[in-house]
Amino acid sequence: MRSPSHLVTLLLLVCPVMVLAQTDPQTASLGRRLKQGAEPQHRVQAARVLGESDDPEALQPLCGGLQDSSEQVRAAAAQALGKLKEVAGLECLKARKSETDAAAQAAIKTSIQTLQELKNRAPRVYVLFGGVKDKTGDLRPEVVKFAEARMRRKLTQVGALLAPAKESKAAAQGVLRKHGIQGYRVLAEVHSTDAGGLKVRMVCIGYPDHALLGDVEVQASGAKPEELLKVLAPRIVEEAADTFEWDT
């Protein structure tokens, strides 16, 4: 295990295109294009980019794309849901099992299999996520919620089973015994930096006990807060998973 308080700095000011291009699909705009685009090919392209966006908010427009009048768009939306890897996409995919187009039907079947395997995999850790606290005092509530959604998504991607809020100690211990895994409570804070950027700090505590295990930090600058958090929110989870050895 690396020592706690590990600090990683992401220099978005130096390489903004390389870093932000991975997380800047402008989901809302693409969602509108998928729903309202005049040409099927434009809607197909929107679906593909949404699937690669790593944005949990892409789920709703992609589910809507499964009902498009074009079989090409329906197939692209189905494929994109598999790439997005949001387990919640299983519901809308299964609702379209009666799809008549062969290509779209095959894409639906493949994505259902992908998401079902993801849903059924054995958890590596049990995590109670305490949310994100804005210590800058300047972030809009929707930006904080956005960061929380990105962190929850990343937690599930690294193999965490998320604990419900206000769970009893006995219930938590039962889950840990059932799966033979460790429990953690994680709390995230967003701070301003002297460079005009943001720093995200994540504290890790034993769960359901309360032993302080340490913390990790990542920071970045050179972009708007929401763009910085697109990078920092998943990155802080990766750092915590690595530092506290969640994969062992």
Amino acid identity of residue 55, one-letter, is D
How would you write the pLDDT of the chain (248 residues) with one tens digit per residue? 555 555 555 544 333 333 333 334 478 899 999 999 999 999 999 999 999 988 888 999 999 999 999 999 999 999 999 999 999 999 999 999 899 999 999 999 999 999 999 889 999 999 999 999 999 999 999 899 989 999 999 999 899 999 999 999 999 999 999 999 999 999 999 999 998 999 999 999 999 998 999 999 999 999 999 889 989 999 999 999 999 998 65
Q: What is the pLDDT of residue 7?
A: 53
Fold of the domain built from segment(s) 37-120: Leucine-rich Repeat Variant (1.25.10)
Q: Is the pTM of this model over 0.85?
A: no
Extents of the domains making up the chain:
6-18+123-243, 37-120
Q: What is the CATH number of domain 6-18+123-243?
A: 3.40.50
Distance CA 107, CA 79 (A): 5
Residue matched to tokens 């929107």: 46
Q: What is the pLDDT of residue 54?
A: 83
Q: What is the pLDDT of residue 116?
A: 95
The answer to whether the beta carbons of residues 204 and 181 sit under 8 Å apart is no
The answer to whether the beta carbons of residues 163 and 175 sit under 8 Å apart is yes
User: Fold identical between 6-18+123-243 and 37-120?
Assistant: no
Q: What is the pLDDT of residue 19?
A: 35
CB atoms within 10 A of CB 188: 23
The answer to whether the beta carbons of residues 187 and 203 sit under 8 Å apart is yes
What's the number of CA atoms in the CB half-sphere (13 Å) around residue 160?
Answer: 27
The radius of gyration of the chain from alpha carbons, rounded to an integer in Å, stands at 20
